Structure 1
């Protein structure tokens, strides 16, 4: 056993497909993220399997030959206790794969739900996660109820069904209805809270998971929101009052987005998304050090349009320039440029600065260019503030 693997960590296999819609490069990128998700959940990925198919096998997701190959690997490595697929599996696929491999089978959605169950701290977040879990379980009752009598603990098994096996679909539907009613009540409370905040300008931090939203929240609000280098480090929406110079506004830290975001979570986290819908200004944070930050930017932008249906005033912040490396696309020199030999002024001249009309480059961790960010925030918030409190405009006449 690898010395880096703790006794409590489950050793897992990851499986992804290479398809006409998802080439080999993308498949590898997605499985790298799935590996990060597994590590966040407390697992230790030991092997990745890929298969090239036109579309997933309806019965076993991968072909029978690949499944046999995976089976042989599991037999040879008896410490492996789980296999995780990078797409959502049907109840038939789950049942067939588990019958053949005889180990625990998870898909991407179930893994994300498990992380959410682990991370949820408040009653509100726990209720949202529980609803999403039951909505995921409902169409898979046949498979799950067949195997729950030998259900083991660990990743993917937190929450519903952990202590009592429920075999009646009517009971599950009743639970879903009850949780929806509970969330309606909570949503009303949240809506009232938002109204009670008055007419202060609302600024929401949005972005892909693990881009540094909570770190920036702590920096601007001088608070101590939990921040960690893991996916979905925080689930609960946090709102803080921030004052820059003489201008107060409300700053909201929201749950991070991710590719292939389970629709169960989108529905369950409605009140969290309402914070985004009702924000006056969005601060879209992008991890410039991530090799696929362009795709992450596009995923968040697309999701925001789906949530809001309209474009809101937005500032795009490229964070983590302290970890930045950049290889120019049209250059004979393939050696990466780092912040040491690529200045902030140079960054502002790249194509990245043209991605949006309001772009900034910062490091929240090292507090680089934060004063410029505050100036831009002040200007944007002030533009909205004076439309609500025009009689206070004289306060800002000599500013900037």
Structure 2
């Protein structure tokens, strides 16, 4: 929905600069949305419609979005055209959520099919984002409800047009609002990727383009290209991993690039791929226990839930435009959306930041230990 206001590159170092889930071969097994569970205590009225003052601008675009984006990489809900998925997405529309994220890799088109069916007749109410994967569907077993990676793909202009055409057909629309590279293919230079995305924009098949799971250096390179090529569409934003148990550990420079270039930021996995969800405490480990205790303390004081506090913490970062969650029931949709309206008092935010920083220090120390052990073993 729109507001009425209206040269070659490589990542710094190798792809091992990214967390394990970002390696090209493994990313498909980790590109699912986060399941956000818990008991509903602070919800949004079923009759509520989002007010214009609750919409935020995505970067420098004319897209105005809700601060909660519903993902479609369902884990527990079938990722094909069945009532369960449509009920979740219809609930999003009912409470006023206008931002939806999908990808061809989610069920190899199955999730896009569900989303396209759910928004039929209401396309002008929503902002659609989908993604192109550097992979193809598995030929032997393309079941949308199995997490099986296909063959690796190197992007080209032809392949990108074909991928987007397939997404548009499944989404039942003639264009998307935001089209992202789901990950880098490990080969193609930035200038070509930007050129091909610009051609998609010029074709009218997408209004804006961006990236997901790219390093700060890569995102900065796209911004440099835009500055040097007058008249060419520029990168609009990025979709990346961010939650209280990771902070800015994975790429501390990324938020600086976002801020300096006025990009949109869609932060996914607000509950650490469900690890911080209620009922998972026995699998957390000692290091994350203080985080959960702090989240629950703030939730009790504010009359909210742990998932809502997780979402509110992510949104407290000034560079985060919207949080991408994976609600898997209509009730969880309301709960998650309630998190966008939760104001964290300064003392609560300070406490949460402190436990996040302490966990970060623990993780960095552990990483150093592992690296030292590997170095010693190789000698």
Normalized per residue, which structure has more helix? 1
- Work out whether the TM-score is over 0.5: no
More RCO (CA 8 Å, sep 6+): 2
User: TM-score, structure 1 length as denominator?
Assistant: 0.29
User: TM-score, structure 2 length as denominator?
Assistant: 0.30
Max Rg structure? 1
